[in-house]
Amino acid sequence: MWVRAYVSMCFGDPWEGPVPVEQVVDVAVRLMDLGADQLSLGDTIGVAVPSQVWDVMGRLMDAVPDPSLAVHFHDTRHLMTQCHRQRMDRRFSGAIMRAMMSVLPPAANGT
């Protein structure tokens, strides 16, 4: 059975704040060791910045031999495209929050 493992809140946690790169790499390595075929890294709360994406992806690619990586960004702070550009060679799934603003109540502004 093919398995995609998800690592959520790779770039920020609403309760604990910034997520150490080592923590993301440790979880990712453990998931690959358990047999995952692909890792999907999530900017679950929409706080990633391009330099962070570069660092996390680079460190992960050093730690996991030839990983199959997917990424998921939210465009809450209008940085999704720049974050994606950090690793154009990886799979990309973007949730464009601006496009959804017209159907969400005013209080649900994605921040």
pLDDT in tens, the chain (111 residues): 999 999 999 999 999 999 999 999 999 999 999 999 988 888 888 888 888 888 888 888 888 765 577 887 777 766 666 665 555 444 344 444 334 344 444 544 444
CA distance from start to end of the chain? 37
The number of C-alpha atoms within 13 Å of 65 and in the hemisphere containing its C-beta is 1
Q: Is 49 exposed, middle or buried (0-12, 13-18, 19+ CB in 10 A)?
A: middle
